[in-house]
Amino acid sequence: MSEKKQPTRTCIACRKQNDKRNLVRIVKSETDIRLDFSGRMNGRGAYICNDIACVEKCIKSKALNRAFSCNVEAGVYDKLKEDFLAGNNQ
Ligand SMILES: [Zn+2]
């Protein structure tokens, strides 16, 4: 039985490995941190499950601070959630 291997990444919130296509990329550029639904933005990337539960978890545990080794302001997390919800309504 041949199994096609999908690239996987670890979600920064639940720390589980997931198929890349089930994850949303988060990019840290020099100026801000934002969701990258295209997966093609420049910058340092982290991945989170395409699941609001993981977004909530990420906010609660301040997972971005860990992922990007910096102090991420609360407003960034709020915006992330907003964008996540908006992106999933498209
Ligand atoms: Zn997750």
Q: How many whole angstroms from 26 Cα to the centroid of ligand 1?
A: 13
Q: Give the model's pLDDT for residue 1.
A: 62
Report pLDDT digits (tens) over 34-56.
Answer: 999 988 999 999 999 999 999 99
Neighbours of ion ligand 1 (CB under 5 A): 11, 13-14, 49, 54
The fold adopted by the segment(s) 8-87 is Hypothetical Cytosolic Protein; Chain: A; (3.30.1230)
Q: pTM, whole model, 2 decimals?
A: 0.89
Question: Do 71 and 42 meet the contact criterion of CB atoms below 8 Å apart?
Answer: no
Mean pLDDT, the chain, rounded, equals 93
Instruction: Assess whether pLDDT exceeds 90 at residue 15.
Output: yes
